[in-house]
A and B are shown apart, each in its own frame.
Chain A
Amino acid sequence: MDVKEVLLPGVGLRYEFVSHKGDRIGIIARRGGDFDVVLYDPADPDQARPVFRLTDEEADTVAQILGAPRIAERFTELTREVPGLEAGQVHIRPGGPFVDRPLGETRARTRTGASIVAIVRDEDVLASPGPAETLLAGDVLIVIGTEEGIGGVEQIVDKG
């Protein structure tokens, strides 16, 4: 997607893009951390119509809501640069052998060579979780490794 970035001296930055429906959307990132979201009138493409304004904290929350499902995709993009390396998602199903058990007990890396780089839990992302991190039903593990390695981790959390 094509995002145009414009410097607003003394204010911050403005990002601008066109959505698939043809709406021209602008986001003003202020120096203070606040964000304004604006929409451009098709009749006068120079004039912005304010939609809403978010504080620093609100913007973080929105980013998490929109961003959590995309974490794995982003890792995929990242690993594309190393041949043979891949990223995958492994779901912890209710009733699985490691539900409510620490991550370290899976011994996933020792057994498969693949690394668990993040746990996505509801809207939160736990980056580089330690071995003491307890796994919960519904967690999604972001795994980086070879294709077999990721498959191995899936086997382990499903069947032990």
Chain B
Amino acid sequence: MQISGALLFQLGALLAALAVLGAIARRFALSPIPLYLVAGLSLGNGGIWPVAAAGEFITTGAPIGIVLLLLTLGLEFSATEFASSLRHHLPSAGVDVVLNAAPGAAAGWLLGFDGVAVLSLAGVTYISSSGVIARLLEDLRRLGNRETPAVLSVLVLEDFAMAAYLPLFAVLASGGTWLEAVGGMIAAVGALFAAFAASYRWGHHVGRLVAHPDSEQLLLRVLGITLLVAALAEFLRASAAVGAFLVGLTLTGETADRARRVLGPLRDLFAAIFFLAIGLSVDPHELLPMLPVAVILAAVTAATKVATGIFAARRDGVARRGQLRAGTALIARGEFSLIIIGLVGTSVPGVAALATSYVFVMAIVGPLLARFAGGPSPEAVRAAQ
């Protein structure tokens, strides 16, 4: 075995740099995603630090990051929670799609992009970051608040919508026709319900297939099966991400809990690598001209998300301030918008640059607005008393 000193050194320096950046972001209760993107940007084309050896690892690791993000999302998902969200917040989900996909689509249309790019921008502005928002609610200690179930329900329904959107989009992005794309979407949604039914009826059998008291065995089994299913889905042009999501859905109960714990650190590592790869793939020179558009789009879609949150929270009978808290909590966009960008790749010039700078703005502004909107934090109130 040939050990590449350059690879080890570059990767080690990169991870150490990410650790410092992440610590700085957390210090101000912000998401580290924007900083990871900047780090990726500084490494890529025309960047400051050329990392040839680690660059290859980053580009190979990025798809694993996507797969792990979606797998853990599927593991979090439960059919009862989905059904309850659907019952209480279907109208909120409708408002969410209409208000938040439209600005992205309109921006793409005004900029003269083609159909695939317009669809991708609609997805980028629609999907909130459940990772960033869950962490935010925890940090701001809002889990007990009356508006929080509405926020979480909207997120669950968005995640499910992604499962229909991704295969449709993946087929189109890879040059398929609309007919093929709709076929892919129907197949994926069908597979989704089949996975639901399977996890409901035979979940314990599937669980037994992968369950093992030894963490190492559990990790290898779950990861192995997930990558196989993801590869199969990719082969069928239905997006590896959806395949991974399906595997996560099928696992339930104790096995899902343990798989989540075992896979957590691995997911964090490869997600960071995925964010780096996105930054790496964007040319910084394309970024600057897109920044004004991204800021305008950010302002518009921040407002539409606030409106979505207000609508959803009002359905739960929450008062004015709580409605505002729900709205601002939903602003942050993050990992899923980036996954969409990852699927577009560089096929349409300009889209990746616009979407990356958009996510960059939203991942910073979202948590900030959520923190300062909706009145003082409970700690501040107590300190003042």
- Residues on A facing B (Cβ under 8 Å): 6-11, 14, 26, 28, 31-32, 36, 38, 40-41, 44-50
Contacts and interface: CB of A to CB of B under 8 A. Distances in A.
B56 interface: no
Contact of B156 (A9, A41, A46): A9
B319 A49 contact: no
Contacts of A50: 141, 144, 378
Interface string B306-338: 000000000000110110010000000000000
Given A31-B257, A46-B318, A7 B130 contact: no
A7 B142 contact: no
A26 B144 contact: yes
Given A36-B144, A50-B378, A6 B149 contact: yes
Contact of A10 (B130, B257, B319, B381): B130
A9 B85 contact: yes
Nearest to A53: B141
A48 B153 contact: no
B382 A49 contact: yes
A10 B375 contact: no
Nearest to B73: A10
16 contacts: A7-B81, A9-B82, A9-B153, A9-B156, A28-B143, A40-B144, A44-B375, A46-B145, A46-B318, A46-B321, A46-B322, A47-B146, A47-B322, A47-B325, A48-B378, A49-B378
B96 interface: no
A46 B143 CA distance: 11
Judged by DSSP, the binding face of A is strand
B237 to A, nearest CB: 30
B301 interface: no
A48 B145 CA distance: 5
B144 A7 contact: no
Contacts of A45: 146, 319
Nearest to B82: A9
Given A44-B319, A46-B318, A9 B155 contact: yes
B149 A10 contact: no
B148 interface: yes
Q: Which 8 A-B pairs have the closest CB atoms?
A: A48-B144, A46-B322, A38-B144, A46-B146, A9-B81, A9-B152, A49-B378, A9-B156
Nearest to A12: B143
Nearest to A44: B321
B101 to A, nearest CB: 22
B134 interface: yes
A90 to B, nearest CB: 39
Contacts of B257: 31-32
B84 interface: yes
Contacts of A49: 378, 381-382
Contacts of A28: 143-144
Contacts of B234: none
Given A14-B149, A36-B143, 16 more contacts: A6-B149, A7-B80, A7-B149, A8-B148, A9-B78, A9-B153, A9-B155, A9-B156, A11-B152, A44-B319, A46-B145, A47-B142, A47-B325, A48-B146, A48-B378, A49-B381
A14 B144 contact: yes
Given A44-B375, A46-B321, A9 B143 contact: no
A11 B148 CA distance: 10
B319 to A, nearest CB: 5
- Residue among A9, A11, A50 with max Cβ neighbours from chain B (10 Å): A9
Nearest to A25: B144
A48 to B, nearest CB: 3
A38 B82 CA distance: 26
Contacts of A7: 80-81, 84, 149
Interface in B216-266: 257
A10 to B, nearest CB: 5
A134 to B, nearest CB: 35
Interface in B130-167: 130, 134, 141-149, 152-153, 155-156
